[in-house]
């Protein structure tokens, strides 16, 4: 199989490396040729958040049980698929957990990782439907700053990583998030089945703890590359992971303390 140089961006400028010239292997992939479709979806999402509850004010809450069960099952399976594909590609390529550069070649292992990360991005587009279900069911209290920020920011952030660094250090960030989402959407799916399932959902508290651990691991791993990494993975992307993980940790910890510490005190 014909392969290319390990890093085709070696002689590019800073702007080309981080902002304009993505991975050529992704040419033809939906959303990847241009950032415009992603920003259109991003804008429509914020518009839905702004106008959706107003539109539903005069409407009765929709009963979406069947659709929600199906939706959560699909996202859970997609998260499982991406997690397994990324893990297999990482093991096959003997990934270093300390510092791993992106393999831009046409090696089947590198292409497996790239494709898994692309579908990981697609899952972030699909997950915007979480907010849609809250809106049409008139569950406006669920549309918090944490919820909207989490869904909205992940779209351009994930697109940027997949477009420019679909492999290397990006693996651990995406794998951990996909792993957590397997359990998160399993929980949502069971919850959508009705009140009779509540007795089986005692582990919600531990799901939030798992999310917090995820952010600590991602931030720590990325911070190592920022401070000590010398494998060639761009430190700017790792720094971005540190910042976003810290913000997410703060928001989720605030949610955890308000939800569970308050319950313990009452």
Query: In this predicted structure, what is the pLDDT of residue 10?
Result: 63
Lowest average pLDDT, out of 115-129, 137-151, 176-190, 195-209, goes to 195-209
Whether residue 157 lies in the annotated active site: no
Query: In this predicted structure, what is the pLDDT of residue 2?
Result: 37
Please give the angle made by the CA atoms of 64, 69 and 75, to the nearest 5 degrees. 120
Entry pTM: 0.91
Binning pLDDT at 50, 70 and 90, where does residue 166 land?
very high
Q: Give the separation between CA 55 and CA 132, rounded to whole angstroms.
A: 12
Active-site residue (options: 147, 150, 151, 221): 150
Q: Give the separation between CA 148 and CA 234, rounded to whole angstroms.
A: 28
Question: Do residues 183 and 89 make contact, with C-beta atoms less than 8 angstroms apart?
Answer: no
Binning pLDDT at 50, 70 and 90, where does residue 124 land?
very high
The pLDDT tens digits for 213-261 are 999 999 999 999 999 988 889 999 999 999 999 999 999 999 999 888 7
Query: In this predicted structure, what is the pLDDT of residue 214?
Result: 97
């Amino acid at each position: 199989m014909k392969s290319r140089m390990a890093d085709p961006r070696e002689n590019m400028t800073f702007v080309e490396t981080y902002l304009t010239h993505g991975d050529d292997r992704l040419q033809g992939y939906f959303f990847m040729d241009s950032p415009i479709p992603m920003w259109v979806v991003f804008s429509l999402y914020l518009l839905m958040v702004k106008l959706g509850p107003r539109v539903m004010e005069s409407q009765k809450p929709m009963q979406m049980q069947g659709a929600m069960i199906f939706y959560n099952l699909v996202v859970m399976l997609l998260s499982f698929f991406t997690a397994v594909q990324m893990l297999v590609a990482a093991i096959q390529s003997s990934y270093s957990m300390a510092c791993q550069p992106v393999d831009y070649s046409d090696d089947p292992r590198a292409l497996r990782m790239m494709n898994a990360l692309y579908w990981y991005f697609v899952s972030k587009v699909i997950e915007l439907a979480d907010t849609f279900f809250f809106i049409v069911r008139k569950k406006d209290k669920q549309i918090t700053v944490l919820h909207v920020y989490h869904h909205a920011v992940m779209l351009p952030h994930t697109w940027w990583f997949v477009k420019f660094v679909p492999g290397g250090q990006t693996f651990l960030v995406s794998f951990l998030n996909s792993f957590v989402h397997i359990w998160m959407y399993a929980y949502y799916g069971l919850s959508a089945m009705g009140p009779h399932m509540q007795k089986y959902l005692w582990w919600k508290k531990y799901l939030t703890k798992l999310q917090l651990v995820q952010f600590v691991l991602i931030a720590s791993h990325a911070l190592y590359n920022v401070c000590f990494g010398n494998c060639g993975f761009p430190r700017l992307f790792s720094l971005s992971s540190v910042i976003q993980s810290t913000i997410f940790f703060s928001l989720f910890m605030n949610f955890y303390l308000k939800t569970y510490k308050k319950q313990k005190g009452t």
